[in-house]
Amino acid sequence: MKTNLNKRSFVKFFTVTIFTFFLVPFELAKALTKKVVNKNLTKKQKEIMFDEGTERAFTSDLINEEREGFYHCANCGAKLFASTAKFESGTGWPSFTEALPGAFKTKVDYSFGMKRIEYHCASCGVHHGHVFADGPSETGKRFCNNGLCLIFKPTNSN
């Protein structure tokens, strides 16, 4: 009887341990992977956000956007950049000197034989662009963002 109980509590302990050490981190990892929030994303948007694609340079209308406001994630709507951080980089992609705190998570990308820092929306996990260390302001950063991943909302748009 006593051995049975011990055996049962061991099984319970074992199950809890397995769950804690394997399943919980797995669930956390899953939460950080990409999820489709906006069901109306175009094929090109999905290609960039979910397959680390890049739009052609000088194709985004947002390059010339100069109004005050915020840039949001086109998938989940999270606020990512303030218009005050935007600058004309001449690269052909919307560029920013800094992101809003906690907006992105970064990872090292070794594709095309280069070491680049890739960044993803912290809320939904989708790819947005790369951040470089040659920015013009005191942050020293240049966030090179695909315009198709962004939705601009002007401050005075009612």
Please give the positions annotated as active site: 144
Per-residue CA distances from 139 to 45, 89, 101, 142 (Å): 29, 15, 13, 9
CB of 84 to Zn ion, least distance (A): 21
Residues, the chain: 158
Look at strands 69-73 and 116-121 and give their pairing: unpaired
Interface with Zn ion, residue 123, by CB under 5 A: yes
Options 78, 100, 117, 151; binder of Zn ion; rule CB under 5 A? 78
CB of 68 to Zn ion, least distance (A): 22
How far apart are alpha carbons 39 and 109 in whole angstroms? 27
Options 38, 44, 69, 76; binder of Zn ion; rule CB under 5 A? 76
CB-based contact 54:48 (threshold 8 Å):
yes
Interface with Zn ion, residue 75, by CB under 5 A: yes
Interface with Zn ion, residue 117, by CB under 5 A: no
Q: Provide the sign of the torsion angle of the four alpha carbons 104, 105, 111, 116, taken in this order.
A: positive
Which residue lies nearer to Zn ion by CB, 74 or 144? 74
Options 41, 63, 73, 131; binder of Zn ion; rule CB under 5 A? 73
